[in-house]
Structure 1
Amino acid sequence: MSITSNTPVDASSPTPLDNWLALLESRHFKTIDMGVDRVQLVKQRLGLQFACPVIMVAGTNGKGSTCAMLESMLLRAGYKVGLYIKPHFLKFNERAQVNGVSATDEELIASFEAVEAQRGDISLTYFEFTTLAIMHLLASANLEVVILEVGLGGRLDAVNVIDADIAIVTSIDIDHTDYLGDTREKIGFEKAGIFRAGKTAICSDPVPPQSLIDHANAIGADLWLLGRDFNYTGDKQQWNYGGRSQRRNSLGYPSLRGANQLLNASAALAALEALRFQLPVSAQEVRTGLVTVELPARFQVMPGQPLVVLDVAHNPHAAATLGQNLDNMGFHPYTFGIFGAMQDKDIHGILTQLKGRIDHWCVTDLPLPRAATAEQLKQQLQEVGVVAQEAAGAESTIQMFPNPAQAYANALSRAGENDRIVVFGSFVTVAGVMKARKSGFH
Structure 2
Amino acid sequence: MSDTSAMPLSVPSAHSPLNDWFTYLENLHTSAIDLGLERVQAVGDRAGLRKPAPTVITVAGTNGKGSTCAILESILLQAGYTVGVYSSPHLVRYNERVRVNGAELPDHEHSQAFAAVEAFRETTSLSFFEFGTLAALQLFKMHQVEVLVLEVGLGGRLDATNIVDHDVSVITSLAIDHVDWLGDDIEVIGYEKAGIFRADKPAICGQPNPPASVAAHADSIGAELYQVGYQYTYEQSGETWNWKCGAFDMEQLPLPALPLPNAATALMALGVAELDITDQHIVAGLAKVRLAGRMETVSDQPLILLDVAHNPHSAHYLARQLKALKNIREVGQIHGVVAMLKDKDIASTLDEMRAVINVWYPASLTGPRAASAQQLADHLNYSGQMFGEPVQAYQSALAAAQPEDVVIVFGSFHTVGEVSAHIQSTQE
Look up the match of 1:180: 182
Any conservation in 1 of the 2:373–2:388 contact (CA below 8 Å)?
Answer: yes
Look up the match of 1:394: none
Q: Which sections of structure 1, spanning at least 5 residues, go unmatched?
A: 7-14, 389-397
Look up the match of 1:342: 341
CA RMSD of aligned residues (A): 1.7
Structure 2 CA distance for aligned equivalents of residues 98 and 441 of structure 1: 26
List structure 1 runs of 4+ shifted beyond 4 angstroms: none
Per-residue displacement from partner, 1:62-116 (whole Å, max 9, x unpaired)?
A: 1100000000000001011111011111211111111111111111111100111
Structure 1 CA distance for aligned equivalents of residues 341 and 38 of structure 2: 28
Aligned residue for 1:107, secondary structure, equals helix
Residues 10-409 of structure 1 mapped to structure 2, 5 A cutoff: 16-48=17-49, 49-244=51-246, 246-256=248-258, 261-275=259-273, 278-330=274-326, 331-382=330-381, 387-388=382-383, 398-409=384-395
Look up the match of 1:431: 417
Aligned residue for 1:173, secondary structure, equals coil
Any conservation in 1 of the 2:14–2:113 contact (CA below 8 Å)?
Answer: no
Any conservation in 1 of the 2:53–2:140 contact (CA below 8 Å)?
Answer: no
Any conservation in 2 of the 1:58–1:153 contact (CA below 8 Å)?
Answer: yes
Any conservation in 1 of the 2:14–2:112 contact (CA below 8 Å)?
Answer: no
Structure 1 CA distance for aligned equivalents of residues 143 and 390 of structure 2: 37
Structure 2 CA distance for aligned equivalents of residues 224 and 203 of structure 1: 6
Aligned residue for 1:368, secondary structure, equals coil
Structure 1 CA distance for aligned equivalents of residues 69 and 267 of structure 2: 11
What letter corresponds to residue 19 of structure 1 in structure 2?
D
Structure 1 CA distance for aligned equivalents of residues 385 and 209 of structure 2: 39
TM-score under structure 2 length normalisation: 0.94
Structure 2 CA distance for aligned equivalents of residues 407 and 232 of structure 1: 39
- Once the 2 structures are TM-superposed, how far is the Cα of residue 185 of structure 1 from its aligned partner? 1.1
Structure 1 CA distance for aligned equivalents of residues 182 and 404 of structure 2: 42
Structure 2 CA distance for aligned equivalents of residues 422 and 234 of structure 1: 26
Aligned residue for 1:301, secondary structure, equals strand
Sort the Cα spacing of 1:441 and 1:367 in 2 relative to 1 into closer, same or farther, 3 A.
farther
Structure 1 CA distance for aligned equivalents of residues 40 and 224 of structure 2: 27
Structure 2 CA distance for aligned equivalents of residues 221 and 314 of structure 1: 31
Aligned residue for 1:33, secondary structure, equals coil
Aligned residue for 1:437, secondary structure, equals helix
Structure 1 CA distance for aligned equivalents of residues 269 and 246 of structure 2: 11
Any conservation in 1 of the 2:14–2:114 contact (CA below 8 Å)?
Answer: no
- Percent of aligned pairs sharing the same letter: 46
Aligned residue for 1:440, secondary structure, equals helix
Q: Which sections of structure 2, spanning at least 5 residues, go unmatched?
A: 1-9
- Once the 2 structures are TM-superposed, how far is the Cα of residue 292 of structure 1 from its aligned partner? 0.2
Any conservation in 1 of the 2:339–2:362 contact (CA below 8 Å)?
Answer: yes
What letter corresponds to residue 28 of structure 1 in structure 2?
H
Sort the Cα spacing of 1:233 and 1:30 in 2 relative to 1 into closer, same or farther, 3 A.
same
What letter corresponds to residue 67 of structure 1 in structure 2?
C
- Once the 2 structures are TM-superposed, how far is the Cα of residue 441 of structure 1 from its aligned partner? 7.7
- Once the 2 structures are TM-superposed, how far is the Cα of residue 27 of structure 1 from its aligned partner? 2.4
Structure 2 CA distance for aligned equivalents of residues 232 and 410 of structure 1: 41
Count of equivalent residues: 415
